[in-house]
Structure 1
Amino acid sequence: MNRLSGLRVWVTRPVAQAEALCEAIEAAGGHALRQALLAIEPPTDPVRADRDLTSAAEAEDLIFTSANAVAGAWHIQPDFRPTGALTAVGAATAAALRHAARREVLAPAADTTSEGLLALPRFAQPTGQRVAIIGGEGGRQTLADTLAQRGAEVSKVAVYRRQPVTPSRPRLQALVAEADVIVVTSGEALAHLAAITPPALWPDLRGRQLVVPSERVLKRAQDLGFNTMPLRPPRMDDAAILETLARCPAAGHGIGRGSA
């Protein structure tokens, strides 16, 4: 089925997470433009990460913020066996965590964001609970701050870091010229795209359809002046992104912009 016939999609995911989505786009008749805006690398201080992870294994609750967090934790400690309850922010993270831990995982059913996780009954009154948040260096503080305000004893464990990837200016120009849609899977990736786009290229970039992961990133795109309302999949897994891409006006009409 060529649901995406002619649709040219720039996938900005880190390389390790991008290929399955790119292959699904091409199987549906679209054309995937592969260019990451972020790279996933080991944490700055792996010794500290190993120590913090050992401590986190005994927490009452362990929250994993991304599939990268799952991969990073088990890369640092292949025999990692946490004893506490396991929670994942989204469906893809939950699937990765179930596979790695071989245990049941709690995850929000609909709102696959930090806010959705905070709405779970388990975290309504976490007074006295020891909660370890496993994620990357930096990132949002909403989850940790809110849980601490609710009385939890919160620690953060950084098991990877995100590094910006900056394509050459000719490559960036070619990508913007060719893409009908840009899939941006994090606020950090959108911020980096905005930072590296020269003023002369902004009118073209603002004309592209965005697919974004959350209401927060959607609002940021609107603040940046994108002309078309960004699309937000119900989940940021490949199937949901593909369904969202099929709703793009250019999908199925054989529209292209040349080649990058």
Structure 2
Amino acid sequence: MKAFEPAIIVTRPTGQARRLTELIEAATQAVYPSVRMVSLPLLTIIPKNDLALLTQLRTALHRATLIVFVSPNAIECAMRAVDDANSSWEQLVSPGVKIGVVGQSSQEALIRHGLTKECILVPAQNESDSDGLWKVLRTNITDWSKESVLIIKGEGGRETLIEQLRSVSAGLEILSIYLRVPLDLASPMWQSCAELDLRHTLWTLTSSEAVRHLGERCKEVNRIPRLAIENSSALCSHANIANAAQQIGFKNISVCEPRDESISQSAAAWLAEQVKRFP
């Protein structure tokens, strides 16, 4: 009988994966100390930091009355750009500016950068998406003609919130400050996943775009190593991500809150169930 070798795959970009990996390791230690942790950054985040963008960001931050970050990546890249411009958030942003984010992870990222919780508009945990944020924004803002809205995002992505803001004729500026580069389909990093016992493997999935890229890799049945996910489990931080996971072939799917602590606790619960089931 094959040895019991459970594994958890963290698919976040390298820079963001460290904290989540550490939390999962801490949460799973008491459950099964020899669980294998695998890093597979399905996307790489590349900040844009050219002089023209830095100048545009400084100007846009100064005149904005509402700043919307679409993701933790947008926050980290923006804060890095502010540093690269030899400035500070306090110098560039007017007092009383409102900040909108789509989820708890982004709120936590802003707080780590020194912002107060009171200035952040965030939807409820069960509505952590652009529609949820739009609901919060409409509750807190009644006269859009007085608002200068800055959306900080990555290249591409969904434009639902942008369309909603345009529908109320809000003054709108959009800055794309990073690129998402998919992991090369021929990268040797895929080999570490192909070697796992997929019956006892958990994929932590926190991006629909990353899931779709994983699906592209799974379609390449003639590529070595071949990657099959049907018998493994997926832990998704949003229902939309779970839908994407189902579309590419995952059958064992669970959904948790997007916070790193929730993902790590859910991963530990999955592992406990695996230990219980293994004879």
Q: Structure 2 length normalisation: TM-score?
A: 0.79
Q: Structure 2, unaligned stretches of length 5 or more?
A: 30-34
Q: How many residues align?
A: 248
Q: 1:182, 1:211 within 8 Å by CA — same for their partners in 2?
A: yes
Which residue of 106, 110, 114 maps to 2:130?
114
Q: Structure 1, unaligned stretches of length 5 or more?
A: none
CA 6–118 in structure 1, closer or farther in 2 if over 3 Å, else same: farther
Question: Residue by residue, what CA displacement relative to the aligned partner does 1:200-244 show, whole Å, maximum 9, x if unpaired?
Answer: 646x3122211223222222222223222x22212x221110222
Which residue of 72, 80, 86 maps to 2:77?
72
CA 170–74 in structure 1, closer or farther in 2 if over 3 Å, else same: closer
Give the CA deviation at 1:176: 4.0
Aligned pairs for 1:30-69 (under 5 A) are 30-43=35-48, 46-57=50-61, 58-69=63-74
Q: Which amino acid aligns with 1:212?
A: C
CA distance in 2, matches of 1:143, 1:7: 40
CA distance in 2, matches of 1:63, 1:71: 13
Q: Structure 1 length normalisation: TM-score?
A: 0.84
Q: 1:208, 1:226 within 8 Å by CA — same for their partners in 2?
A: yes
CA 124–251 in structure 1, closer or farther in 2 if over 3 Å, else same: farther
Which residue of 126, 144, 152 maps to 1:127?
144
Which residue of 200, 210, 213 maps to 2:234?
210
Q: Which amino acid aligns with 1:52?
A: Q
Q: 2:40, 2:189 within 8 Å by CA — same for their partners in 1?
A: no
Query: Is residue 2:14 matched to residue 1:15?
Result: yes
Q: Secondary structure at the match of 1:231?
A: strand
CA distance in 2, matches of 1:123, 1:48: 33
CA 124–115 in structure 1, closer or farther in 2 if over 3 Å, else same: farther
User: Could you list the runs of 4 or more consecutive aligned residues of structure 1 that deviate by over 6 angstroms after TM superposition?
Assistant: none
Query: Is residue 2:180 matched to residue 1:162?
Result: yes
Q: Which amino acid aligns with 1:223?
A: Q
Q: Which amino acid aligns with 2:248?
A: L
CA distance in 1, matches of 2:244, 2:274: 29
Query: Is residue 2:275 matched to residue 1:253?
Result: yes
CA distance in 2, matches of 1:11, 1:48: 35
What is residue 32 of structure 2 aligned with on the other side? none
What is residue 24 of structure 1 aligned with on the other side? 23
CA distance in 1, matches of 2:40, 2:53: 29
Q: Between Structure 1 and Structure 2, whose CA radius of gyration is higher?
A: 2
Which structure has more helix as a fraction of its residues?
A: 2
Query: Is residue 2:255 matched to residue 1:232?
Result: yes
What is residue 90 of structure 1 aligned with on the other side? 103
CA 218–123 in structure 1, closer or farther in 2 if over 3 Å, else same: farther
94-103 or 27-36, which deviates more: 94-103
Q: Secondary structure at the match of 1:246?
A: helix
